[in-house]
Structure 1
Amino acid sequence: MAVVRAELTIGELSDRSGVPTSALRFYERKGLIHSRRTAGNQRRYRRETLRQVAFIRASQTVGMPLSVIGDVLGLLPEGVAPNREFWEKASACWSAELNSRIERLERMRDKFTSCIGCGCLSFRECGLVNPSDALADEGSGPRRLF
């Protein structure tokens, strides 16, 4: 029967999570995860850190920046692993932001598609380079090249 230790080394955390040790150190510097140091100055992570790392990676996959992920992880009590309820709350908080990003991407896709269809890339007429011909008010000559 295998012995389950309360703490993991950085190598064990990396092996179990699939996240490189360099990324784990980065997460720690950013305050996303925490370790304690042994007398020999080695990192030891609580087992809950596995779920925190999984939460970080899943959140990054949906496009959340690390600063936002850190804010949400800061709501977790010390020593508590993210669970389904925690993920649902985080997801609800991020739904509006994700929907806004999706809408912006769809608008960009639609504008880009029509621009490719026209092929002009005219600084005077292009809706991507010069939306609503805003630069015309500034007079003739280059405006985006400086």
Structure 2
Amino acid sequence: MRASPEDHLTIGEIIRRTGVSASALHFYERKGLIFSERGSGNQRIFSRHMLRRISLIIVAKRLNIPLSDVADVFTTLPTDRAPTHRDWQRVSRMWKKQLEERRRAIEDLERELTGCIGCGCLSMKACLLLNPDDALEGRGPGPVRLQEPRAAMPRRGVRTP
């Protein structure tokens, strides 16, 4: 007999299949990332299609994607039925865009750190990590120049307070 996405699994079966602890499953449920119903004996049961959601949560955690981002994407998925191929394509496109933005940010950071720290010069003209006289205090905490979107960042060699 073939398994249907609408079949139900007990919490023990979900734990066995995903490797995720019961407390994590309860947490994900409280956050609205996954959903369960109550079966006979008031036991939590999950639709089989929740396995895919849980798998995506695991992958997102591995990639350091915040659960809030996962929740945003999951809001576009149905909760009362198994998502269709079209639903998953939409989610894939959303995540692809987020991952591309992350990749660009990481590549920009790598370039800046390699150019600045790697050369050893720590030039007052080009270094985006330096903050002489704490001139950037009003722009927020941390390395604000590195945290700004790329378009807002000064060009190499152009000093801005």
**TM-score normalised over the length of structure 1:** 0.69
Contact map agreement 2:73 2:94 (CA 8 A) in 1: no
2:75 aligns with 74
For residues 1-146 of structure 1, what are the structure 2 equivalents within 5 Å?
6-38=7-39, 40-121=41-122, 124=124, 127-130=127-130, 135=134
RMSD (CA atoms): 3.5
Q: Which runs of 5 or more structure 2 residues have no equivalent in the other structure?
A: 143-161
Cα offset, 1:60, TM superposition:
4.0
Contact map agreement 1:32 1:70 (CA 8 A) in 2: yes
Query: Identical aligned pairs, as a percentage?
Result: 42
Contact map agreement 2:35 2:79 (CA 8 A) in 1: no
Contact map agreement 2:11 2:45 (CA 8 A) in 1: yes
In 2, Cα distance between the equivalents of 1:70 and 1:137? 34
Contact map agreement 2:18 2:54 (CA 8 A) in 1: yes
The AA in structure 1 aligned to 2:56 is F
Distance change (3 Å), C-alpha of 1:128 and 1:22: farther
In 2, Cα distance between the equivalents of 1:92 and 1:78? 19
In 2, Cα distance between the equivalents of 1:22 and 1:107? 38
Q: What do residues 63-115 of structure 1 show as CA deviations (whole Å, max 9, x unaligned)?
A: 53222222332222233224543232112123333222211111111111122
Q: Which runs of 5 or more structure 1 residues have no equivalent in the other structure?
A: 139-143
Q: What do residues 22-51 of structure 1 show as CA deviations (whole Å, max 9, x unaligned)?
A: 221111111111112356543221222122
